[in-house]
Amino acid sequence: MTIKTTLVAAVIAIMPMAVQAQEAVGCALVGDLAEVIMANRQVGARMSEMMEIADGEPLVEALVLEAYKSPRYSTDRMQKRSVEDFRNDAEALCYRLQSDQGV
């Protein structure tokens, strides 16, 4: 298991707690997870490997599927921008959902 795979697995392990807590910190964790997923996508991780790591967690699977809709960039600058944008989009969606739910 690679270091990145281990990191993804660790973030996935704490995701259910964040989702259940429905606190603002949960959105930061969603952002962390989105960042790791997109960073792995940008360096060429296989989608099947990411889905296996997701282990049926719906939020993680949704983030993986969304990340793989984005192109894989060849320059460090564009990869970094893609990771940052994906993280921000995931956090923004999380905060909007919390706001809509009155959390």
Span 1-23, pLDDT tens digits: 454 554 455 555 555 555 554 45
C-alpha torsion 78→80→83→86, nearest 10:
-60
- Whether the predicted pLDDT of 35 surpasses 90: yes
CA distance 78 to 42: 9
- Amino acid 36: pLDDT: 95
Mean pLDDT computed over every residue of the chain: 82
Q: How far apart are the first and last CA of the chain?
A: 37
Residues with Cβ within 8 Å of 41's Cβ and at least 6 positions away in sequence, in order, are 47, 50, 67, 68, 70, 72
Q: Which domain holds residue 77?
A: 3-101
Query: 75 or 10: whose pLDDT is higher?
Result: 75
- The tally of domains found in the chain comes to 1
